[in-house]
A and B are shown apart, each in its own frame.
Chain A
C-alpha cells in the first residue's frame, strides 16, 4: 500500500512523502484525533536553531494522537479498537533506566516521522487500548502521560512531607500536572503560580492560585513542579529555589531553548533535589489511560481542549497551527487525511 506522509520540509512548508507500506508484523492504525504540542509549533514556525532544523527536517509532525486499529496480524488487537500511540521507540538496555531516557531511543516527531500520516505502522507494544474516553480527550494522552511520569518520579524521589506542593506555570502542562497531583495526593494543598489571570481562573480545582508578582513575602512550600519553560524558566526556577523549604524536590518540566543560569548556592544550602523529567514510557501511558477513564478527570481535561475543524488538506494543517497560536491551551483536531 502506498502511504501518504505529510512532512514539514522547512518552516511552514509541507510536502507529501509517498512510502510503500509493508504489513509484516506491525499493526496498522489510522490516526483519528491529533493534538498540537509546543514542540510541533516551534518546528512549524522555525523557532529552533537552524542547525537543528537542518538535521531534523523533513519530518512529519505531531506526537499526540489517538487512532483506530485497521489491521493487526499479531492478533493483539481487534479491527476498530481505539488506541493511543506511544511516540517513544525505546532501545534495549538497562531496565533501571526509564525507556524515555535510554541512549539510542527514538522519538517520533523528533528526528523521525510523527503521526501526520495517512496510516501509521507501529509495533503492537507501542499501542495502548482505551475504551471509555472521548477521542478528542484521548488525543492528549501523551501529554497526560508526561505529567503522570513526572508525578511518579516525584513520588519516588521526594520526602514524605507533602503538605504544600506548588506548580509554577499557568499553561496546559501545569493544568494537567495539577490534575494528576490532585488525584495522587488528595490531602496535599496544591498551589499554582502564574502570570495570566485568565488562565489561572481555569484552575478551579486547586487550593490556591497566585499571580507571580503578588506572592506573599512568607510564601513557602515543600515541593515544586516547574512548568514554565522558555525564557521564563530563569525566573521560575530561581523563584522556586528562593521559596522552597529545605530538602524540597524541584521537578523541572519546562523546555528552554537557551541555557538557564540558576542559583546553585541556595540549591546546595537547602539540599534541594532537582529532577529533570520529560516524555514518558509505556507504563506512564497505561496509568494515564486509567486516570482518564475517570469521567470527572475527563471533564476537567475537556476544559483546556479547543477542537478545531477537521483536517482534510494541507491548507487545513496550516489552519490548525495558526489556530493553535491563538488558543490558550490545547488544540485538537480530527484527522481526515
Chain B
C-alpha cells in the first residue's frame, strides 16, 4: 500500500508575522496546507493520506477540511510529536493501527509548507521508493556552498557539482525506515531529525529524485512573499 504523510507539526515560530502556524497562512484564498493536501488527493495511487498536526491545532485542521470540502475517507489527521521524526513515527503508528503491516508499504513524507509540489515529483517518489527503498527529492545547488563550523571563517568550500539542496518529499519503505530508526541510540534519535539522514548513518542508499526550484518551503516572510508573487502577487498584511 502507498501512504502519504503531510508533516504539519510546526507552530510557526520562525515567522514573526503571525501567531498562526505558517501552514495555515492564506495563499490565494486558501491556507497553504489545503493546497498541499489537494495536490496529494489528486494522486490516485495513495491508499491514505495522513496529516501530522500539532495536537493543539488538530480541531482547527478538521474544521478546514470540512470548510474546503476535503472530508474524504482517505484523509486522516494524526497528532504530531516534538520534532519532525517523532511526528513521522506517530503517523506510521497510526497507519499501522488502521492498516495491515506489509514489507512493501511505502510512505511519501512531505512538508505541509511546500504547496508547489508537482504530481511528477510525487509519482517519481513513489516509483523510486518502490524500487530502491528510500529516496530524497533534491535540486542541484545553484549558489556555492560554504561550510563554516564557527560561523566566522570558512572551513571548506565543497565542489558545487556534487552539492544538492534537499527538498521533500522524502519517501521510504516503512519497514526499512522502522528497522533503521529502532536501531538508533537515544542520543542519535535526538540528533537525527531528518529521516533520510537515518538511512545515511546506517549505510543505506538513498536515491535522488529530481525536484523543482519552485517546490519552495515557505518558512520565512520573504518565502511567503515569493509564493504570493508566484500566484499573482496579492499581498496580505
Contacts and interface: CB of A to CB of B under 8 A. Distances in A.
Nearest to B42: A70
Interface string A11-49: 000001011110100001010000000000000000000
Contact of B120 (A2, A23, A336): A336
A70 B116 contact: no
A79 interface: yes
Given A20-B29, A28-B42, A337 B116 contact: no
A118 B119 contact: yes
Nearest to A3: B39
A1 interface: yes
A16 B230 CA distance: 10
Nearest to B40: A1
Interface residues of A, number: 20
B39 A2 contact: yes
A2 B119 contact: no
B100 interface: no
Interface in B61-119: 69, 115-116, 118-119
Contacts of B230: 18
Contact of B42 (A1, A18, A19, A336): A1
A336 B123 contact: yes
A252 to B, nearest CB: 41
Interface in A117-151: 118-119
Contact of A16 (B44, B115, B123, B214): B214
| Of A1, A16, A71, A79, most B-chain CB atoms within 10 Å | A1
Nearest to A336: B120
A107 interface: no
Contacts of B120: 118, 312, 336-337
A2 B42 contact: no
B42 A20 contact: no
Interface in B204-227: 214
B28 interface: yes
| Of B38, B123, B214, B230, most A-chain CB atoms within 10 Å | B38
Nearest to A16: B214
A2 B35 contact: yes
Contacts of A23: 38, 69
A1 B39 contact: yes
A321 interface: no
B110 to A, nearest CB: 14
A245 B235 CA distance: 68
A150 B152 CA distance: 74
A80 interface: yes
B167 to A, nearest CB: 15
B44 A20 contact: no
Given A16-B214, A18-B116, A337-B120, A1 B35 contact: yes
B30 A20 contact: yes
Q: Please provide the 10 A-B residue pairs with the shortest distance between their CB atoms, ordered closest to farther.
A: A1-B38, A20-B28, A18-B230, A2-B35, A1-B39, A70-B42, A2-B115, A18-B231, A2-B116, A337-B120
Given A18-B214, A18-B231, 9 more contacts: A2-B39, A20-B29, A20-B35, A70-B42, A70-B44, A80-B44, A118-B119, A119-B119, A312-B120
28 contacts: A1-B38, A1-B42, A2-B27, A2-B28, A2-B39, A2-B115, A2-B116, A2-B231, A16-B214, A18-B116, A18-B230, A19-B231, A20-B29, A20-B30, A20-B231, A21-B38, A23-B38, A30-B119, A70-B42, A71-B42, A79-B44, A118-B118, A118-B119, A336-B120, A336-B123, A337-B118, A337-B119, A337-B120
Interface of B: 27-30, 35, 38-39, 41-42, 44, 69, 115-116, 118-120, 123, 214, 230-231
